[in-house]
Structure 1
Amino acid sequence: MRFTGEGLAPGQVNVAYGLYPSWRGRGLATRAVLLVSRYAASEGGEEAVIQVEPENPGSAAVARRAGFTPGGRQKHAKDGTRFDWYVRDLRVDTPVTTC
């Protein structure tokens, strides 16, 4: 989790995660995203952002299960890599499906 970074507006928080293959499919990443989102909100974060490589449907699924919605595609200025953004308003308590 980062409160500042390339492409982030004031109040946005970048959330990133990764799991070894043997730990995937257990809901751990979704649970971690929910916990870090709650913490970010308590520290003044207004919107959480998850940046997903378009070729990574598993990571996009984690974002959706954690209550994030598609927020468009962004390109990083440094290397031109494109990411699909998923966003979640941290100022409202959004119900989510965790599994």
Structure 2
Amino acid sequence: MTAKRGLITDTFKVVKKPRRDDRRDKKQPSPAADPEPPRPTERETELQELRKFDLDWRFGPCTGISRLQRWERAALHGLDPPQEIKDILLKDNMDPEYTHCLWRDYPL
């Protein structure tokens, strides 16, 4: 005859571990302890808008010409480029980060 085998749980006790969600609930940080993320400067915001303009293909290709030339070309062809972009470009027209497109560091 064969001996009846028992289950492993007969030998070892079952121990339930707490779920990870339960541990997270206990360690909730207070809202006052969370610092606000730093706000981008005006320059960073403007450069971000100019990068968006570079990536928008509705206004034609941007390699090989300045951003202002591209804006004027788009306006000439009736593509309605944003006036804010022209205002940014005219305000800081000497800074290469403002005048050159996003792809200026890559060879043609």
**Does TM, normalized by the shorter one, top 0.5?**
no
* TM-score with structure 2 setting the length: 0.27
Specify which structure has the higher proportion of strand: 1
Q: Which has the larger radius of gyration?
A: 2
* TM-score with structure 1 setting the length: 0.28
Specify which structure has the higher proportion of helix: 2
